[in-house]
Amino acid sequence: MAIQTILIYPDDCLRQVAAKVEDPKADSIKALVQDLADTMYDAPGVGLAAPQIGVSLRLAVTDTDWKNGRYEEAEGAQGVRNLKVWINPEFIWKSEEMASYEEGCLSIPEYYEEVSRPAVVRLRWQDLSGAFFEQDFEGFQAVALQHEFDHLDGKLFIDYISPLKRNMITRKLKKHFK
């Protein structure tokens, strides 16, 4: 178990385009997934992307179930957590229909803003065995996945809000965390 430091915006690593994971089966990738999971549950958050702990690779973890109350019920009870690992994720289709949710980010603490994104997405990704999967996601899962995978392209949810609000958040976080 290794809880890592979560980088806070405007850290440069959060703005880089992450590199493809060449060998999902590598021990180093398994260790990275463990660190991401430990750090996400400790925060606690519903998702964490590798660039948020300073590793510029296309990999993220999510657990959107605890948001629905399962995580709290599972406190101390191993095995009920529903950790998902996403390696080299790629959206191959997004709906024209949009949906709005209030989003936050572990790298932008204490700020929450309404963001509009495609309501349904079709994702292709790999797991730790290197196998490929394809599935449609909607609702909160679609939001969480789009938010997390934006991190792999150096994008943040504040990029979707007005420049005025974004500049205010940037100024305040610079003051707090530098």
User: Which residues are known catalytic residues?
Assistant: 148
Closer to Zn ion by CB, 134 or 159: give it.
159
Q: Report the half-sphere exposure of 163 (CA within 13 A, side-chain side).
A: 0
Closer to Zn ion by CB, 85 or 105: give it.
105
Minimum CB–partner distance for residue 153 and Zn ion (Å): 12
Residues near Zn ion (CB under 5 A): 105
Closer to Zn ion by CB, 105 or 123: give it.
105
Residue 5 CA: distances (Å) to CA of 2, 54, 80 = 10, 9, 25
Minimum CB–partner distance for residue 148 and Zn ion (Å): 7
According to DSSP, the β-strands at 59-62 and 108-118 are unpaired
- The b/e string for 90-117 (b: 16+ C-beta within 10 A; e otherwise) is ebeebeeeebebebebbbbeebebebeb
Other Cβ atoms closer than 10 A to 136: 12
When CB distances to Zn ion are compared, the closest residue is 105
Minimum CB–partner distance for residue 1 and Zn ion (Å): 22
